Chain A
């Protein structure tokens, strides 16, 4: 563990790198997909630091490497090269189960296609991360009921995903992402499969979470959505081409 919470050092030495105090710190991250015949370099030397309670949009055209970047930030995939510190802890070289625990406790995922388990109810979907965490039954019940209440689905707990609208499914997914009180919420095109009303509703939900102190990283190709965040990181051809605060 290093520097977590000690903001005294000068972050300008490493402008985009693993700055102290950053909750997410990528330094020189490369990702190469080896499909046997061809090697595709999806990320080349990416440096990126995100602090606690930032609201960041990662934008770029499709194939730019933004999804790969999100997979690495979310510990869903490992970098070929480079360092990734999550809350000051180096992720590279961690065991599979350790990574699973990190995803369980530190990161909440919201996907474009919701990725709810179709045979489980809304309640059971939200409960799942708590089960993996090993939370006792009482805590699980309280937590799931609170979360589904907060996203306005208290009356839909026993519904299965097919019985819910797209916006409702995504709200279940947000409740699920929050289940283990993660440090970071990672959302990959969260409004991509929603109409503009439902999409606006979801972004509103994210703004709410940000206001409560959550750290949010949002992947999108929608400029309108990116404008509602506070910082936009533009990725192109596997590299960060711009990183600016939203006015």
Chain B
């Protein structure tokens, strides 16, 4: 403690370096700090935007498409189409303990929807109620999603995507109103909460109408599912769940559980894992560029500290003659370097945060899709911690080496220095 207060006193009493050079150095550090903050916060914004987009499709889900057998099995030839039916959802839920939730869906991509004088041809899908959670198609306040009773009673109720609702009903609230779906009157029960959806199949959720699967079957006379969506109990169990599901369905439809073409899978869990790996790489890359910029500023600090130490050689010699231990001298030099670095750092963080905030505000008003994917630049705690740590490290090193040189010579030599 005593040593620290002494170091602080020496630092305060030290002859100060030239102002112009100091300003340039502080600016270099500030610039580096702005660079690292901007790059990392854009990375963070992109990461969050992609994560939100993935959530729009549904988290940790697997989507199945119908396929054709590739292998002959149990005396049956290859090339047989496999078509699942709604009851298979119950079969899978009962037969595969690793599956937590599942829903079937059927698509009809060209159905006329009429509200008064507005008529649109849009995609209509029939789904099980579990679809709401699986595919994160939550209703906004004042509405609801399709429930078990709707499914059981084959009710003529419809849940609208938010953009579709706007196209059909304008700004008014469609809930409770009647909509003609293929000339049949349906009651609108809910509208989708606005969401960001990156991955999709059969168009965005915002632009479709959803009805109970049972109603869909009855109206369009369909039996086979377009897709089956399920969620494993745990991400780690996804491969086991898939294997068991293939066994259960393979037994029913007589295909080889190892036949990769019988059913086709879109495993978003695996996608998410890969995406995370890519994002970590991207963040490391952006952070690395920022760090390099900052290190260049650090070289500037080291340079100015070398100059200061040379300039102050005699002063240091006097301190040594009076009995200053090495730590006191190196400490005060490192402190000076840290002060320079942090002055630049604080300025840089201020400017960086301001820029990020302005960009975020601009982005909130922008409508461009590219901007939407890029996301809102965000400064997270780890970014702040990483930046400050890096600044501290650079300040220490930029002071340490000049300081070490300063105390490496004999006091007599330092006192002789002109």
Task: Please list the residues of chain A having a beta carbon within 8 angstroms of any beta carbon in chain B.
Answer: 71, 74, 76-78, 96-97, 100-105, 109, 111, 115-120, 124, 128-129, 131-134, 176, 180
Contact = CB atoms under 8 A, between A and B. Distances in A.
Contacts of B14: 119
B406 to A, nearest CB: 12
A238 to B, nearest CB: 16
B4 interface: no
B9 A100 contact: no
B339 to A, nearest CB: 16
A97 B415 CA distance: 18
Contact of B324 (A71, A76, A100, A120): A100
User: Which of A76, A133, A180 counts the most B-chain CB atoms under 10 A from its CB?
Assistant: A76
Contact of B13 (A74, A102, A117): A117
A132 B321 contact: no
Contacts of B15: 117-119
Contacts of A105: 323
B412 A71 contact: yes
B324 A117 contact: no
A131 to B, nearest CB: 5
B107 interface: no
A100 B13 contact: no
B177 interface: no
Contacts of A180: 323
B413 A77 contact: yes
A128 B412 contact: no
A242 to B, nearest CB: 25
A100 B415 contact: no
B125 interface: no
A85 B415 CA distance: 23
Given A117-B315, A119-B13, A131-B9, A74 B321 contact: yes
Contacts of A100: 320, 323-326
Main secondary structure of the interface of B (DSSP, over half): helix
A103 B325 contact: no
B318 A132 contact: no
Contact of B314 (A77, A115, A124, A134): A115
Interface in B380-412: 407, 410-412
Contacts of B31: none
A79 B27 CA distance: 46
A115 B414 CA distance: 12
24 contacts: A76-B320, A76-B321, A77-B410, A77-B412, A96-B326, A97-B325, A100-B324, A100-B325, A103-B321, A103-B323, A109-B322, A115-B314, A115-B317, A115-B415, A116-B318, A119-B16, A124-B13, A129-B322, A129-B323, A131-B9, A132-B325, A132-B328, A134-B2, A134-B6
A173 B320 CA distance: 15
B411 A132 contact: no
Given A101-B325, A124-B13, A117 B318 contact: yes
B187 interface: no
Contacts of B326: 96-97, 100
Contact of B415 (A76, A101, A128, A131): A76
Nearest to A180: B323
Interface string B294-337: 00000000000000000000110111111111111000000000
Contacts of A78: 410
A234 to B, nearest CB: 22
B324 A115 contact: no
B321 A115 contact: yes
A114 B16 CA distance: 20
Contacts of A128: 319, 322
User: Which of A97, A176, A180 counts the most B-chain CB atoms under 10 A from its CB?
Assistant: A97
Contacts of A77: 410-413
Nearest to B414: A76
A111 B322 contact: no
Contacts of B318: 115-117
Nearest to A68: B412
A136 B323 CA distance: 16
